[in-house]
Amino acid sequence: MNVNTIEKRQNEERMLRYQFAARVNYNRAEVQNDLVWLCCLISWLTIFSSSKEILFIAIPFWADMIALVLNWRMTVNVSSASKLRQYFDAYVLSINIDEYSKTELEELEELSFKVMKQYPEKSKEQMTNTGRDDPPGVRNWYEFSQPLSEQDAIYECQKQNCWWNKKITHKRLTYTGIGLLVFILMAIFFIMGTRTEIEILKILFSSGGLFAKSSERFVANGKYYMVSLKINGALDVLENSRTDESMKKLQEKIDMRRAMPVLERNYTHKRFAKVYSELYHSITSIKKW
């Protein structure tokens, strides 16, 4: 799979459609995850209301129920997006492409066409634009700064995936850290404002939704981190010695990470897509003498 073939395949109409549909599904999942946090926060804040009306008593229950549904929809959208991205790489890089059945391909087609019909204008824009345009699109997903052999071209695409992931993940962790700090300060403020032990216990027991969501996120991010470590280790090994089998195993780990319900921020991608695209091109343009 040489550079010219990869560049041609990744910009075929079907592949652009899959990439656009994957992006939409990941973005939906991101919004749904944010709404889950909002529902948990609303449920928690109602305990500070002195109202005894049935509405305020029912709010925590319904907020938690909505959060459960949104969390389920989030996992469905992540699964759909990861399947589309997985096939994109399988086709463009010709890795494990024979493993797809006719039924699976039909499901991917259905997924992509549904999204295109929902966003006809946006899909045209995204499928026309590259990562350096405003807004960033899905054309020229992989970029090459110099000619490469077949194995080197595939490895370069895998390396690009991982390089981008590191950059975006770093931004996400920074924003998450700030958000967590704000939440801890809020919790301390509310607890310090209580007057009795009963009120403190009420706050703690009513924080079940937030604790459950926080625990679920902690576990998901822990698994994500462990898979990322394995990917980084595999990349280091492939730097000097590559085989078709080792690159297939690396791709399987990349696909596994994509399917995890750990989401990067769409805003971050929009904000830094051009900057990172130009930066990566610059650092990979250096020739070995």
Nearest to 183 by CA among 289, 59, 37, 283: 37
The count of C-alpha atoms lying within 13 angstroms of the C-alpha of 194, restricted to the half-sphere facing its C-beta, is 18
Q: What is the pLDDT of residue 289?
A: 47
Residues with Cβ < 8 Å from 262, sequence gap 6 or more? 220, 221, 224
Give the Cα-Cα-Cα angle 166, 160, 153 (nearest 5 degrees).
160
Q: What is the pLDDT of residue 206?
A: 62
Nearest to 35 by CA among 244, 254, 263, 200: 263
Q: How far apart are CA 182 and CA 224, in angstroms?
A: 24
CB atoms within 10 A of CB 120: 8
Q: What is the pLDDT of residue 288?
A: 53
Q: What is the pLDDT of residue 10?
A: 96
Q: How far apart are CA 69 and CA 80, in angstroms?
A: 17
The count of C-alpha atoms lying within 13 angstroms of the C-alpha of 150, restricted to the half-sphere facing its C-beta, is 5
Question: Could you give the 3-state DSSP secondary structure of residue 52?
Answer: coil
Q: What is the pLDDT of residue 174?
A: 80
Q: Tell me the CA distances in angstroms from 1 to 7, 10, 245, one per residue in order.
A: 10, 12, 15
Structural contact between residues 132 and 224, judged by C-beta atoms closer than 8 angstroms = no
pLDDT tens digits in sequence order for the chain, 289 residues long = 678 899 999 999 999 999 999 999 999 999 999 999 888 888 777 766 655 665 556 777 788 889 889 999 999 999 999 999 999 999 999 998 988 999 999 999 999 999 999 999 999 999 999 999 989 999 999 999 888 888 889 999 999 999 999 888 888 888 777 877 777 777 677 666 655 555 565 666 566 667 777 888 888 888 999 999 999 999 988 988 888 899 999 999 999 999 999 988 888 888 888 999 989 888 887 755 4
Structural contact between residues 276 and 164, judged by C-beta atoms closer than 8 angstroms = yes
Q: What is the pLDDT of residue 212?
A: 78
Q: How far apart are CA 2 and CA 68, in angstroms?
A: 46
Q: What is the pLDDT of residue 113?
A: 96
Q: What is the pLDDT of residue 181?
A: 79
Q: What is the pLDDT of residue 282?
A: 86
Q: Which letter does DSSP use for residue 130 in this model?
A: B
**157 CA to centre of own chain:** 18
